[in-house]
Structure 1
């Protein structure tokens, strides 16, 4: 699904994440410290976008009375996700200079997408941003079956109850984890409290479902209640303003990012803000849905490759250029930007796109075979 407003949001998300990870190469300075500090929210924006786009793909054929082709769904996801991921994983495994930190968790945790559940050594931080891909993979694996189960007897009330259970259950779980793991680590001061926060609260799939759920809820609205979404689109700018106001509230709440209130309530609030922004961008009259930013679609297209490779490229550039350009901060920042975009574009062009074309050729062949079979049958 290519919608200009969503492409722009995807571009903003990857830029936001890279600004956050600029701390690896010395940060952006005091004048951009806010963008750097809150850049992790770009991952939550990716979650909302993914929930909306994948949710629409899964729900639409079922709502139309057809069957969900699970084999085709997983084949398309595998061609989209795995080739670039394993290329970048090979770089991390075989080229130590690529790693942003010397240590790295065991490779099998990455190849099985269990890193986000098993991360336990603070010094093994290389390729740590793969945690969000693990969450996505778990979502791809389970959501189609959950959708089929829910739609055996479609009910808006049941869906609402399930969404409420996931949201409030997640809040209760994060509260318990904060009280039983993070707070004791802070009190004892005998183990890294930041590691405990990442290990038990921030990385695991079971405590980071809010964004994906918000996106799925928007997808369900688009598929089963299109008049509701049309009404949102008619008042798109108001919805966008509401989303931005909620985002500002979330940012204020996350000034103490590891605090109890932010941990428990912050992620649902942030997801609500971001889903309002995504809804406004998905069509209609809002400024975000109508604005055209040159290059945004292209950057959105290579955003996945950029996300996987940007930390490694940061580290390479730092080793090659940081000392030479230490007195020229803007020039050095420009080098980081150009190198990251070039690296992401190269991965997209030489790995991602060929596999996507191969996937699409296979889809066309299977569709043609089915049509011929229908004619002969």
Structure 2
């Protein structure tokens, strides 16, 4: 897939909106962080589904297992490393931690255990992304080949 500079520009705007929301640099941006998060979700959905559409156009099938493994290798190592580094100060200071929160974060299930809260609050959006990947593969798997053949007519990004 060719890189689209316009999407990189939108990604940059999304980053700024989220940063401004969390840093409260300007009062007027405080309530606009959700726009950045939504923009990330839309861009991710567009780009990731484009990868699957392109794979189907080339191979007449979608290898969901391969797709999920590749996404996992892009996300899991850095997430778990960062999560471990984030938790080190808590362990060093003998801070009481709710291990239910940690387990749900590590398994990307924190959005289903809403009464528990988060050990690392920012991980909620990554959990949404992960569930989107699984849902997308699930949808592609259960759509009949007759319907998928129409995808070949769609020009992928």
TM-score range, shorter chain: 0.7 to 0.9
The answer to whether the aligner puts 1:84 opposite 2:78 as a matched pair is yes
Instruction: Give the superposition deviation at 1:93.
Output: 2.1
| Counterpart for residue 110 of structure 2 | 115
Q: Conserved in 2, the CA contact under 8 Å of 1:19 and 1:35? A: yes
| Counterpart for residue 13 of structure 2 | 12
Question: In terms of Rg, which structure is larger?
Answer: 1
| Counterpart for residue 225 of structure 1 | 154
TM-score after normalising by structure 2? 0.81
Q: How does 1:32-181 map to 2 (within 5 A)?
A: 32-96=26-90, 106-121=101-116, 124-154=117-147
Aligned residue pair count: 151
1:202-235 per-residue CA deviation (whole Å, 9 max, x = no partner) reads xxxxxxxxxxxxxxxxxx6xx6433xx9xxxxxx
Q: How does 1:271-350 map to 2 (within 5 A)?
A: none
Instruction: Give the superposition deviation at 1:103.
Output: 6.6
Q: Conserved in 2, the CA contact under 8 Å of 1:16 and 1:39? A: yes
Higher relative contact order (CA 8 A, sep 6+): 1
Instruction: Give the superposition deviation at 1:115.
Output: 0.5
Q: What SS does the aligned partner of 2:84 have? A: helix
TM-score after normalising by structure 1? 0.36
Gap runs ≥5 in structure 1: 156-219, 230-281, 283-377
In structure 1, how many angstroms separate the alpha carbons of the residues matched to 2:141 and 2:52? 9
Q: Conserved in 2, the CA contact under 8 Å of 1:93 and 1:107? A: no
Residues 126, 110 of structure 1: CA spacing in aligned structure 2 closer, same or farther, 3 A cutoff? closer
Gap runs ≥5 in structure 2: none
Residues 63, 77 of structure 1: CA spacing in aligned structure 2 closer, same or farther, 3 A cutoff? same
In structure 1, how many angstroms separate the alpha carbons of the residues matched to 2:5 and 2:122? 26
In structure 1, how many angstroms separate the alpha carbons of the residues matched to 2:153 and 2:141? 14
Q: What SS does the aligned partner of 1:76 have? A: helix
| Counterpart for residue 344 of structure 1 | none
Instruction: Give the superposition deviation at 1:40.
Output: 1.8
